[in-house]
Amino acid sequence: MPNPSKITCVEDFRRLAERRVPRMFYDYADSGSWTEGTYRSNEADFHKLKFRQRVAVDIEKRTHRSSMIGIDVAMPVAIAPTGLTGMQHADGEILGAKAAEKFGIPFTLSTMSICSIEDVAAHTHKPFWFQLYVMRDRDFIERLINRAKAANCSALVLTLDLQVLGQRHKDIKNGLSTPPRPTLANLINLVTKPNWCLGMLGTKRRSFGNIVGHAKGVGDLSSLSSWTAEQFDPALSWKDIEWIKKCWGGKLILKGIMDAEDARLAVDSGADALIVSNHGGRQLDGAPSSISALPAIAHAVGKEIEVWMDGGIRSGQDVLKAISLGAKGTMIGRPFLYSLGAMGEAGVTRCLQMIANELDITMGFCGHTDIHNIDRSILLNGDIFDRP
């Protein structure tokens, strides 16, 4: 296994993950919907923003410590909720949560995780966040919320942009399932991933831990497949958010906001934060990139609600650009999945170290010592996404 200190960028992790993770699960992480245009623009639009380099400024004492919904964080980054994380690496959600806890940033567990809420709670010491998908079965949702409360989760992240599923061509062609179906193509591919297979043989966690055995009538893979196909609720509305907020009673974060009008509705809902997100380019292909949508949304809500963003972040420089355009915090999905698939917990730790280091050094080059003082003035073209 490579020395983690020799890994210098997220792309290194991506290449390692591509070699070590079975094709269907690697493709699940590294793909978008339809033409993948929005998926690609999420990353490409960050490159359009250019920094102002400043010199002869005292930058000896720098800090990128911040807070997200009142929680002190080592940097304004949280690990985003990602489905099937435990298929990138055995017990992946547990490993990711442990790495995030040690580093001092929040970890968010997906409803569609492999390790359950209880699994992660049993292996961590500090509260983590739980991400909720709204299903038609409201009784199941209420019980899921109560399980998150019992696990001492400190915030609920409600995803709003998956009322219907975007067409993800690679997942369809790969016949995505968990665990993988024993087809000839899958078996041939698994033979080339011995370390992944050994890891999976050593864990009992191979299906959707928050659902199997908890949702009515879901006791095996076949019933789970039919249940998930029927359960995502296209009738989700702002009235449901009011009900969820009441059931939860704690910090609420709304994920999937891409329009200033929806951002204003998020403020009216009483949520504590919103996340500018297009689901990593996996839902509406043809939507704008998250970073290009951020400035208008941040302007529309001002300081009435915390604005975060995800989608396309691959470095600490990208984090700094998001902060400069109005984000109070950011979330990372693919960098987390690549590093986890490549090297497990050690990979995630190294990934967070790299992002923090890139953030710190770039702040210095821009003549700043405190993340709280970052604004558009660090960019040469900070108004690029304001232009028609």
HSE toward the beta carbon, residue 274, CA cutoff 13 A:
35
Q: Known binder of ligand: residue 28? A: yes
| 279 is known as an active-site residue | yes
Phi/psi of residue 51, nearest 5 degrees: -80, 150
Q: Known binder of ligand: residue 83? A: yes
Answer yes or no: are the C-beta atoms of 151 and 121 closer than 8 Å: yes
Q: Known binder of ligand: residue 206? A: no
Q: Known binder of ligand: residue 131? A: yes
Using alpha carbons only, how large is the chain's radius of gyration in Å?
Answer: 20
Q: Known binder of ligand: residue 137? A: no
Q: Known binder of ligand: residue 302? A: no
Q: Known binder of ligand: residue 360? A: no
Q: Known binder of ligand: residue 31? A: no
β partners of residue 159: 255
- Between helix 37-47 and helix 316-324 the angle, nearest 10°, is 80
Task: With H, G, I as helix, E, B as strand and everything else as coil, classify residue 307.
Answer: strand
Q: Which of 89, 125, 214, 279 is catalytic?
A: 279
Q: Known binder of ligand: residue 311? A: yes
Answer yes or no: are the C-beta atoms of 297 and 260 closer than 8 Å: yes
Answer yes or no: are the C-beta atoms of 44 and 291 closer than 8 Å: no
Q: Known binder of ligand: residue 159? A: yes
Q: Known binder of ligand: residue 125? A: no
Q: Known binder of ligand: residue 369? A: no
Q: How far apart are CA 372 and CA 383, in angstroms?
A: 20
Closest CA to 314 of 337, 330, 335: 335
Q: In this structure, what DSSP letter does residue 280 have?
A: G
Q: Known binder of ligand: residue 89? A: no
β partners of residue 131: 157
CA distances from 324 to 192, 368, 374 (A): 44, 12, 5
Answer yes or no: are the C-beta atoms of 291 and 311 closer than 8 Å: yes
Q: Known binder of ligand: residue 214? A: no
Q: Known binder of ligand: residue 179? A: no
- Between helix 334-365 and helix 92-103 the angle, nearest 10°, is 20
Q: Known binder of ligand: residue 255? A: yes
Q: Known binder of ligand: residue 52? A: no
Q: Which long-range contacts (CB under 8 A, 24 or more apart) does 257-260 make?
A: 257/160, 257/297, 258/161, 258/287, 258/288, 258/290, 258/293, 258/297, 259/293, 259/297, 260/296, 260/297, 260/299, 260/300
**Catalytic residue ranges:** 279
Q: What residues are designated binding site for FMN?
A: 81-83, 110, 131, 159, 255, 277, 310-314, 333-334
Q: What residues are designated binding site for glyoxylate?
A: 28, 133, 168, 279, 282
Q: What residues are designated binding site?
A: 28, 81-83, 110, 131, 133, 159, 168, 255, 277, 279, 282, 310-314, 333-334
